[in-house]
Structure 1
Amino acid sequence: MKWQGVNELREKYLSFFESKGHTRLPSFSLVPQGDKSLLLINSGMAPLKKYFLGQAVPPNTRVTTCQKCIRTPDIERVGQTARHGTYFEMLGNFSFGDYFKIEAITWAWEFFTKVLEMPADKLYVSVFENDDEAYDMWTKQIGVAEDHMVRLGREDNFWEHGSGPCGPCSEIYFDRGPEKGCGKPDCHVGCDCDRYVEVWNLVFSQFDSDGNGHYTEMEHKNIDTGMGLERLACVMQGVDNLFEVDTVQNIMKHVCRIAGVTYNADEKTDVALRVITDHIRSTTFMIGDGVMPSNAGRGYVLRRLLRRAARYGRLIGIKKPFLYEVVETVIHENASAYPELEEKKAYIRKIVEEEEKTFAKTVDKGFDMLSGILTQLKAEGKDTVSGEDAFKLSDTYGFPIDLTEEIAAEQGVSVDRERFAALVEEQRNRAREDYHNKAGSSWAEGGLQMDAPATVFTGYSHTAEEDAKVVAIFRDGESVDTAAEGEPAVVVLDKTPFYAESGGQIGDSGSVTTPDSTFTVETTSKTENGHYLHLGAMTEGALHVGDTVSAKIDADKRSRTMRNHTAAHLLQAALRSVLGDHVHQAGQLVTDSRCRFDFSHFAAMTHEEIKQAEALVNEKILEAIPVVTQELPIAEARKLGAMALFGEKYGDVVRVVTVGDYSVEFCGGTHVDNTAKLGLFRILSESSVASGVRRIEAVTGTGVLELLDSYEQTMASAAKAMKLSNTTGLAEHCAALVADNKEKDRQIESLNQKISDAQMAAIFDNAKAVNGVKVVSAMLNGTTPQVLRKMGDTIKDMKEPVVAVLASVNGEKGNLVCACSAAARDKGAHAGKIVQRVAAVTGGKGGGKPDSAMAGIGKTYMVDEALLALDGIAAEFLKED
């Protein structure tokens, strides 16, 4: 067999199964669509569950894919061995009630031995111990020698996950030769050594499990196969692990060039190179599918991977941000299969670079923390960094344990590695439990089930009314024949002008009527199978399955929504023009009242940038540009430069919305046919949503007029409050009022100072000497906390040694201020500790710095007792001369 590259193997596999009547589907997004049981897609089967469960109709009963996958349960082990990785691609061929065992087995053998020309004597096959049918097919029909066959138990060769479809499986292994083995005479398939590599798993889904050990033979059996692309490449290229296959090795070589190191020269360096190489592959694809760094969910997985890669970069001497450069190679190596990465390259680079810069600041804080820990240990005469401190450095500040050990060793200090490992394991177990609790069953069912054909949407052309037929009614999740007056229900029609909520655009509302009944539609959504769900209530009469109805949308609401949706397209183009090509939509909500647009950017927009973007949109409105919507093959749409949404799944034919040569986007929403119909566009606000994501809220058309009306009403109310007959000169009057208030504030501050000075003289009349320090206390009822603080500031700046505690009660609340001059602090005085002790007498709490501190008074009637205790408390701190 000859050497073949990853990209060549992927294409050969998909083409082979296309020749067997399979429909090739592009890889689904790593972000699960409509599946809350998974954080990230982790297998080739995961995005196809809806087809296996009958929740959606597949494009063909035979499908083949190469699916992007990410698995992170053992992220800490990535890099430590050459086997573990987080990102991989899974080749698969699937049958939804079409072919079964013999076809799956025959084609697998044909692909290996004929297409890839693998030597048959190097291939071994395992079957489930009770699956005589599969065993006979392999031996009698395919001709595999019995000494190349192995029967394994349920743990190895029976695929089952909770309840739902399950069945035996058959695995194909490649013998890498005795030199890769353990040397034991009984070395065979299933041995833990590296000789026999499992390459392809054929799952025969023929039973339906209730999850309690009961299995029912399914009428329509399925095939689900999975083969790791990188693992196949290892076999075809004769290398030991995924880091040595061509595309992955090229990424690693780029890292080596930046670091000035080589692979296989030093084990510690090799670990770092493997971590960086694996993690930058994962993060590039995750960002390409719309995942943003954050502190929760899949965003946290992304951030953790990026930071882990960056910190290992530091271990091999890379002190500057560098991962964003390696993104270029990741994209180049995968561009033939995933051209969308090339389109989003600038965006992905920018996200990675910004995250690296942020992390660099965090790591610097970690260095400061470690320095503090080492200094304290030396002061205490200790020589071991605790496992807790090492774990905090790793978990909070991104410090690898190796870096902590290296820096500590330079100062003759060790690290409690055993305790550190225990804490890491505890965290890993918590993560696994959380993962499994969230995952539930991979086959969990949900949604409304019906046999009716998908709803025909006529709302692009029929924007007001459509005659239709009721094909289903649901109440409380159950299918019913009738919805009576006053009852909430879900109505499904054979065709509808109602737009179903999707792509950030809200669903239409309106009514479904017969001559004798009215069903008021509050909103519209749709199922995976394309059934439009009209959600609302019967407000008059009754509606029955089979009724012919008139479906009428709220035309005014639709028009306002369309204006805001078209404005979102113009806004994205304007933002890219003003801020740069890294801007991409990160989410949107288009309603009849406003347009909310989230986009990738890394700093708050300036006032000038906001106004510039707003002006660009209004400029396009005034140009009255035709808005053209058309359905095109996806390849043709991409040639036009149409922008796609991150993580969105597109079919072979897509809807493209074009606004002259200014904006071209994939979009299934509804739009005006000319920009002039937007009337006007106004940005209401610009704010932060998450790290690297900004949000703009804006209005168009009548929304702008309503905004101007609200401004006018606000100005009129302000003028009335200032006793002006109209709004003329309102700004000048406001400025004068602010200036007047500032002058009054200055006068109040001056009076407070005079009060403070007047009271200060009286305070020291009662001063007592404690170990050479003046200790004074005073009760100043009615004095504000601000005045107390000012008096304290005066005291702490005195040259002589002074400790003072001042109290004030205002109503039911009271405050204590303690101030200590520098000379008093030299003798041991500490304002924070003293005020804490004094406040405790009243049941209050507080504290602060050595020179000045405040506390709250608990029981106000005990203030006198607390102040009397000051002399004794101060004496405990003050050293005798």
Structure 2
Amino acid sequence: MEAKALRRIFLNFYKERGHIIVPSSSLVPKDDPTLLFTTAGMVQFKPLYAGAIPLPYKRATSCQKCLRLSDLEKVGFSPKYCTFFEMLGNFSFGDYFKKEALIWAWELLTEVFKIDKKRLYVSVFKEDDEAYNIWHKVIGLEEKRIYRLGEEDNFWGPAGGVGACGPSSEIYYDLGEEFGCQKATCGPGCSCERFLELYNIVFPMYDQQPDGKRLPLKNRGIDTGMGLERLAMVVQNKKTIFETDLFAFLIDKIMTILPGTEDKKPFYYITADHMRALTFAIADGVLPANEGRGYVLRLLLRRVLIYYYKFFKQLPEKPFLYLLPSEICENYGDFYPELKENVNKIPLIIKEEEERFLLTLKKAISKWEEVVSKAKLKKERILTGDTLFFLHDTFGLNIEIMEELAKEENLLLDKEGFLKRLNERKRVEQKPLILISKGEPINFVGYQELVTESEVVYFQKVSDDEYELSINPTPFYCEKGGQVGDWGKIVYNGEEFPVVDSYYRYGVPIQKIKTNKEVDLLFKKVRAEVDKERREEISRAHTATHLLHRALKEVLGKEVRQEGSLVDCGRLTFDFNFFRPLKKEELRLIEEVVFSKILENLKVEKYFSLPLEEAKKMGAIALFLEEYGPKVNVIKIGDFSIEVCGGTHVDYTSEIALFKIVDECGVKSGIRRISAYCGKRAYLLFVSKYERVERIKAELKTTEEEIIKKIKELNENLKEKERKRNKLIEHLLPLLKKNLSGIKMKELEVIIEDFSFLEKDEIRRLCDLLKKESNKLAIFLKKNKERVEFIILSTAKFSALKLAKALGNFLEGGGGGRNDLAEGGGKLKSLSEIKAFIFKEISLWQ
């Protein structure tokens, strides 16, 4: 019976018994800060048990998407564990209780799904006589098939530590002695794999509070859960969930991409499981990140690539995980339509994340192997916290990944030392800022005034030539909301002190001044002057950012939202959610929309200190509201744009003058970035480009209209010369091969040659010619003024990879590749030094 039939039959079974079929909720729990992900079917029903909302129904059934990492280490090695799973469940809210729940569960498994009763066992909470008697006296199960277990096994919940919980009864399926521990005491609750937890029936009776106290639950009821994967394993008579039709199609696809032997099955299982989890989570709006839910996704993807390295003893040559989500969406999309809606987006997000980590991983693995090698030489079994922190901070190896790698090397990790270093970096080491003032709040007047007469209320030397101060009132805008801080000067008794930065510290506006003199300005009356020209350029950039935001929505769609920004002097960057690079035509259109609004000379209206609710009623787009508090500023640009914003702006859009997009790129999965210039900076960009064109015209001795034609002609000439060179190389390489001679070291012929006059791909072609030769180890060098690169070919049992790593270390560089072909490079050394090192290494290894 196919899994989709099992899913349908389960839901219809309970529908016929008065249950409402409720669709799966998102993997991201709604209004539940206690959970990163939905971990059980009852999560979306927690308010119903607690009586927090009116009951829309008293009976419900669902097939819920769930994601748990509690058994992550066992995934792929155990027949029953996975991270993402579908939980079938039936629920009662103040309606039926234990008797109906247990009778229906038994009927469903034995009469509908036809599971062999002889292989089913049950457990109850040790104090739950009622459930025990229902199983024995009502259903007729023999006493020897009913187990009384403790709270660890038969008291469930609550999900997230608070909410509905209670005793439970579980139905187990006996997989057979081959899965067991062979102990006489083996039975339900045993830690071995023999007895599969199949159907868990929970009796929610208590509402657990944050302090651990259990109060009576307002709507006592039933909460059940049965993993579809495990049910399919039993009904389809498979030895593992990964052999069921829920995974088989995906594992077939993985094995087509990466053929392998039986011993690599755990890798295929882990990949299939983690990719299901990633695909479903991304479809529900989660993106890979360094914290929270995004960290879980990043960890799962990186685990797959680490296990590839562990099982295949090398890193993948190119990304492959992004090829799998389309298969998952196709197979699950009928029941979960959000997959088909995101089928184009999900592979793009995974591919970008995969490519970025592979680039890092190559360096990280090389450094990891170096660290492990040094530890073994020193006979150290524990990697220190400092070492782990270095690998984490410099190469992006998180602690979970290092634990996986350490197992292979029989090494232990100083996790406590690592966490201590990590916390030290996070800890703010600055002392609290104490203002010596008259109890008055610092008044920012910089929206209206750029010059003020002020009093210094805080003054502190921070380095040999730098002081921090705070003045009241202040015209200086401090860095906030993506806008950089003002520069300017502080004038005291005719002496000027340049202000080089403005920022907040503990909510207090701070200016940093530079002077080589010893001064004390505390309580002094000073004149504060903002750099007017710089402020105007920043204001141009900030108003242009608002225009760009609205233009993106018009061109790409209303779903585009801001994910971050930088507003600087005449330049800006704007991050937004989008899942592919923008086309040239789209960028041109966005520019045209922005520039048209500049030409329209729209009035920029500024509303200060409005109540947040009033701003919302105006239709203002609110971004990062936590930065603003109950009172906000609103910037309205004609009828084109209206946003909550605390930054500085021009009065009319024509003051921006010019606007030019200079770059568009990806910054992380699903997030794009546009960089642009405006105002004087854009003008200088155009002047620079014009002058460059003039120089090109003079160099090529042509007109502006003929530049492209001239460049094409030059390119054709270069290509023709390249073709001629290639023909010469075709004749040259066989001659070079013929004249190669090496030194015999036992059965190995070692060839070392400097081929700096060849390109690297030409040296590789020479290696191809040598591949059919036997017992040769060829090391070909290519030098420039500062570095030497090498390519090593081995047609013997000697490892080219091993020599590449050693030679790379000798050259203070690196090396990598395969056992038959490897490459690397490092600092320039003489040919004689390199030869001496190579011969010494070979003699040590022979």
Aligned to 1:106: 103
Aligned to 2:321: 323
Change in Cα spacing, 1:425 to 1:30, as seen in structure 2 (3 Å) is farther
- For 1:173, what is the secondary structure of its paired residue? strand
Aligned to 1:387: 383
Change in Cα spacing, 1:205 to 1:616, as seen in structure 2 (3 Å) is same
Q: Is the 8 A contact 1:384 1:416 kept in 2?
A: no
Match of 1:609 among 580, 586, 602: 586
**In the alignment, is residue 34 of structure 1 matched against residue 31 of structure 2?**
yes
Q: Is the 8 A contact 2:375 2:383 kept in 1?
A: no
Q: Is the 8 A contact 2:50 2:207 kept in 1?
A: no
Find the aligned partners of 1:708 and 1:418 in 2 and give their Cα distance: 61
Letter in 1 for 2:347: R
Letter in 2 for 1:235: V
1:92 shift after superposition: 1.0
Change in Cα spacing, 1:731 to 1:132, as seen in structure 2 (3 Å) is closer
Find the aligned partners of 1:10 and 1:733 in 2 and give their Cα distance: 60
Letter in 2 for 1:329: E
Q: Give a deviation string over 1:773-827, Cα, whole Å, max 9, x none.
A: xxxxxxxxxxxxxxxxxxxxxxxxxxxxxxxxxxxxxxxxxxxxxxxxx9xxxxx
**In the alignment, is residue 575 of structure 1 matched against residue 560 of structure 2?**
no
1:396 shift after superposition: 6.4
Find the aligned partners of 1:732 and 1:102 in 2 and give their Cα distance: 77
Find the aligned partners of 1:407 and 1:168 in 2 and give their Cα distance: 40
Change in Cα spacing, 1:274 to 1:699, as seen in structure 2 (3 Å) is farther
Aligned to 2:133: 136
Q: Give a deviation string over 1:727-763, Cα, whole Å, max 9, x none.
A: xxx9899879999xx9xxxxxxxxxxxxxxxxxxxxx
Find the aligned partners of 1:306 and 1:698 in 2 and give their Cα distance: 43
Match of 2:358 among 343, 357, 360: 360
- For 1:126, what is the secondary structure of its paired residue? strand
Find the aligned partners of 1:573 and 1:251 in 2 and give their Cα distance: 39
Find the aligned partners of 2:682 and 2:342 in 1 and give their Cα distance: 52
Q: Give a deviation string over 1:662-695, Cα, whole Å, max 9, x none.
A: xxxxxxx9999xxxxx9xxxx9x9xxxxxxxxxx
**In the alignment, is residue 419 of structure 1 matched against residue 412 of structure 2?**
yes
Q: Is the 8 A contact 2:38 2:66 kept in 1?
A: yes
Letter in 1 for 2:345: Y
Find the aligned partners of 1:139 and 1:733 in 2 and give their Cα distance: 83
Change in Cα spacing, 1:736 to 1:670, as seen in structure 2 (3 Å) is closer
Q: How does 1:703-742 map to 2 (within 5 A)?
A: 703=641, 709-712=651-654
1:141 shift after superposition: 2.0
Change in Cα spacing, 1:417 to 1:376, as seen in structure 2 (3 Å) is closer
Match of 2:283 among 266, 285, 288: 288
Letter in 2 for 1:313: Y
**In the alignment, is residue 243 of structure 1 matched against residue 220 of structure 2?**
no
Match of 2:44 among 16, 31, 47: 47
Change in Cα spacing, 1:46 to 1:698, as seen in structure 2 (3 Å) is farther
Find the aligned partners of 2:256 and 2:207 in 1 and give their Cα distance: 53
Moved more, 330-339 or 281-290: 330-339
**In the alignment, is residue 339 of structure 1 matched against residue 367 of structure 2?**
no
Aligned to 1:71: 68
Q: Give a deviation string over 1:171-197, Cα, whole Å, max 9, x none.
A: 111223344433344433223333322
Change in Cα spacing, 1:387 to 1:54, as seen in structure 2 (3 Å) is same
Aligned to 1:176: 175
Change in Cα spacing, 1:419 to 1:270, as seen in structure 2 (3 Å) is same
Q: How does 1:305-320 map to 2 (within 5 A)?
A: 305-314=300-309, 315-316=311-312, 318-320=316-318
1:337 shift after superposition: 1.6
Aligned to 1:600: 578
Q: Is the 8 A contact 2:80 2:230 kept in 1?
A: no
Letter in 2 for 1:612: L
1:82 shift after superposition: 4.3
Aligned to 1:701: 639
Letter in 2 for 1:8: A
1:346 shift after superposition: 0.7
Find the aligned partners of 1:116 and 1:93 in 2 and give their Cα distance: 16
Q: Give a deviation string over 1:11-30, Cα, whole Å, max 9, x none.
A: 11112111111111211111
Letter in 2 for 1:574: V
**In the alignment, is residue 303 of structure 1 matched against residue 298 of structure 2?**
yes
Letter in 2 for 1:129: K
Segments of 5+ residues of structure 1 without an aligned counterpart are 409-413, 432-564, 577-582, 590-595, 620-668, 673-677, 686-696, 717-729, 743-821, 823-881
1:52 shift after superposition: 1.6
Letter in 2 for 1:575: L
Letter in 1 for 2:223: D
Find the aligned partners of 1:307 and 1:321 in 2 and give their Cα distance: 12
Q: TM-score, normalised to structure 1's length?
A: 0.49
1:383 shift after superposition: 7.3
Match of 1:158 among 144, 155, 159: 155
Q: Give a deviation string over 1:398-423, Cα, whole Å, max 9, x none.
A: 67999999999xxxxx9963323x53
Find the aligned partners of 2:191 and 2:219 in 1 and give their Cα distance: 36
Q: Give a deviation string over 1:551-583, Cα, whole Å, max 9, x none.
A: xxxxxxxxxxxxxx9x9999557327xxxxxx9
Aligned to 1:486: none
Find the aligned partners of 1:91 and 1:570 in 2 and give their Cα distance: 45
Find the aligned partners of 1:287 and 1:88 in 2 and give their Cα distance: 15
Find the aligned partners of 1:41 and 1:350 in 2 and give their Cα distance: 25
- For 2:232, what is the secondary structure of its paired residue? helix
- For 2:169, what is the secondary structure of its paired residue? strand
Q: Is the 8 A contact 2:66 2:85 kept in 1?
A: yes
Letter in 2 for 1:198: E
Find the aligned partners of 1:733 and 1:157 in 2 and give their Cα distance: 69
Q: Is the 8 A contact 2:124 2:132 kept in 1?
A: yes
Aligned to 1:502: none
Letter in 1 for 2:555: A
1:116 shift after superposition: 0.5
Aligned to 1:117: 114
- For 2:339, what is the secondary structure of its paired residue? helix
Letter in 2 for 1:361: L
Change in Cα spacing, 1:312 to 1:382, as seen in structure 2 (3 Å) is same
Find the aligned partners of 1:733 and 1:26 in 2 and give their Cα distance: 53
Find the aligned partners of 2:586 and 2:410 in 1 and give their Cα distance: 52
Q: TM-score, normalised to structure 2's length?
A: 0.51
Q: Give a deviation string over 1:597-637, Cα, whole Å, max 9, x none.
A: 9422355x588634414768999xxxxxxxxxxxxxxxxxx
Q: Is the 8 A contact 2:49 2:218 kept in 1?
A: no
**In the alignment, is residue 9 of structure 1 matched against residue 6 of structure 2?**
yes
Find the aligned partners of 1:257 and 1:186 in 2 and give their Cα distance: 43
- For 1:345, what is the secondary structure of its paired residue? coil
Q: Is the 8 A contact 2:391 2:397 kept in 1?
A: yes
Q: Is the 8 A contact 1:306 1:356 kept in 2?
A: yes
Change in Cα spacing, 1:141 to 1:261, as seen in structure 2 (3 Å) is same
1:282 shift after superposition: 0.8
Q: Is the 8 A contact 1:128 1:154 kept in 2?
A: yes
Q: Is the 8 A contact 1:234 1:240 kept in 2?
A: yes
Q: How does 1:794-805 map to 2 (within 5 A)?
A: none
- Alignment: residue pair count: 497
Change in Cα spacing, 1:357 to 1:386, as seen in structure 2 (3 Å) is same
Change in Cα spacing, 1:166 to 1:9, as seen in structure 2 (3 Å) is same
Aligned to 2:225: 226
Q: Give a deviation string over 1:619-660, Cα, whole Å, max 9, x none.
A: 9xxxxxxxxxxxxxxxxxxxxxxxxxxxxxxxxxxxxxxxxx
Change in Cα spacing, 1:178 to 1:606, as seen in structure 2 (3 Å) is closer
1:54 shift after superposition: 2.0
Letter in 1 for 2:120: L
Letter in 2 for 1:221: R
- For 2:53, what is the secondary structure of its paired residue? coil
Q: Give a deviation string over 1:36-61, Cα, whole Å, max 9, x none.
A: 11111111112221222222334321
Change in Cα spacing, 1:398 to 1:12, as seen in structure 2 (3 Å) is farther
